[in-house]
Amino acid sequence: MRYLTLAGLLLLAGCGNAEQEAYNEAIQKGVDILSAEQYEKAEAYFEIALENQPDDEKATAYLTQTQIYREAKDFYDSKEYAEALEKAQQVVESENGLEGLIAKATAIIEEINAKEDHIDAELDKAKAAYDSGNMDEALPVIENLLNSEELSNAYFSELKAVGEQLLADIQNKQNELAMDEAAKAKVEEESLLQGSIDRNINAYNNLSLPLRMLLATTVVDERAMSPVLLGYTLAYNFDEEYLLLNSHSGAGVGHQWFIIRDDSNTITPIEGLVNMGTSGYRDVAVDSTPVSKADLYNRYMESKDSYDLALQNVFKLPEMTMIKYEELRSYSGQ
């Protein structure tokens, strides 16, 4: 009986040794094959180890850790970063786990964090350029970032919203700057134009008095623009602040009198009369819109020789006064 018991114990020990060997072999093969990233095969070996030693903490930990890491890697490869981070963190925090899997899970976490750090850095770069007023530098940075693959990922949606708002701010600022530049350019253009106008007005005022009288007459009587005033004469005189002009051919009717106000920058037709012969004088309708002396000077420069030659037919007539004008007007309609 004693020998039978011993034989039974030896048989049981033999079975126990076989299970232990099978367990050890399965654990080792599972660990070895992990280096080849064959995670499903590693899981199978760890399951074999558990079959030989059910409820073994190490085999259970290895199996669970491998399964979770495989999920983390699958999520990472499919760019589901939130889920990948959650699973990778579980691997890192697992007890009795494999250091190799912890290192791999840590690498996943660091890679995702590096992507986020890169996005933050680019946002900061664009924001710094925006704050310094350098829109030309800020715009390509934010555009490249928003068009990047990373920022198309839902995990970075909050950072994308920040980037889109910054892009809108940059574009609005560019529009403001463009408007400011356009306004500045307009002011400069108007300043140059006004400078040209002022120079021409000054040039007009420096012309000889007869020449200025002739040019002023062109506003109310187109005959004053006739080449060299051929066939006509122009008499003028100043009375108070008014300029009186009388253009005529020396015969017949149609001799016109005009009153024009001569200001520093403009001349303004006031009214006019025309000689109708035995019928007396009648009012002549005039356009009382002020005319810039700069325009008159331009008119002079366009036909300078003709106006200069016409001066021989322009003369001052002191008898032309406002009193004389009103006297002629009293003959209106007779």
Q: Is pLDDT above 50 for 98? A: yes
Where b means 16+ CB within 10 Å and e means fewer, 25-56 reads ebbebbbebbeeeebeebbbbbebbbebbeeb
Q: Is pLDDT above 70 for 4? A: no
Q: What is the mean pLDDT of residues 289-314?
A: 94
Rg of the chain over all Cα atoms, to the nearest angstrom = 52
Query: What SS3 state is found at 319?
Result: coil
Q: How far lies 51's CA from each of 11, 18, 214, in Å? A: 20, 12, 122
Q: Is pLDDT above 70 for 3? A: no
CA 194 and chain centroid, separation: 29
48-75 confidence digits (pLDDT tens): 999 999 989 999 999 999 999 999 999 9
Helices (H), the chain: 2-34, 39-52, 57-77, 81-93, 99-131, 135-146, 157-205, 209-217, 293-302, 304-310, 322-329
134-175 confidence digits (pLDDT tens): 999 999 999 999 999 888 899 999 999 999 999 999 999 999
In this structure, are residues 112 and 77 in contact, taking their beta carbons and an 8 Å threshold? no
The C-alpha atoms of residue 114 and residue 216 are separated, in whole angstroms, by: 80
Q: Is pLDDT above 90 for 47? A: yes
Q: What tokens does 209 get?
A: 């008095």
Backbone angles phi, psi at 290, to 5 degrees: -60, 140
Q: Is pLDDT above 50 for 13? A: no
Is the model more confident about 60 or about 223? 60
- Which residues are 273's β-sheet partners? 257, 283
Q: What is the mean pLDDT of residues 173-178?
A: 90
Is the model more confident about 9 or about 233? 233
Q: What is the mean pLDDT of residues 301-309?
A: 93
In this structure, are residues 319 and 327 in contact, taking their beta carbons and an 8 Å threshold? no
Q: How far lies 220's CA from each of 69, 135, 212, 273, in Å? A: 98, 56, 14, 11
The C-alpha atoms of residue 277 and residue 255 are separated, in whole angstroms, by: 9
Q: Is pLDDT above 80 for 93? A: yes
| Predicted local distance difference test score (pLDDT) of residue 222 | 86
Backbone angles phi, psi at 311, to 5 degrees: -60, -20
Which of 47-56, 90-99, 173-182, 221-230 shows the lowest per-residue confidence on average (mean pLDDT)?
221-230
Is the model more confident about 87 or about 278? 87
| Residue 12 binned pLDDT confidence (cut-offs 50, 70, 90) | very low
Q: Is pLDDT above 60 for 8? A: no
Q: Is pLDDT above 50 for 121? A: yes
320-331 confidence digits (pLDDT tens): 999 988 888 887
- Could you tell me what percent of the chain has a pLDDT over 70? 93
| Predicted local distance difference test score (pLDDT) of residue 16 | 62
| Predicted local distance difference test score (pLDDT) of residue 224 | 84
| Predicted local distance difference test score (pLDDT) of residue 253 | 66
**Which among 235, 247, 212 has a CA at the least distance from the CA of 319?**
235
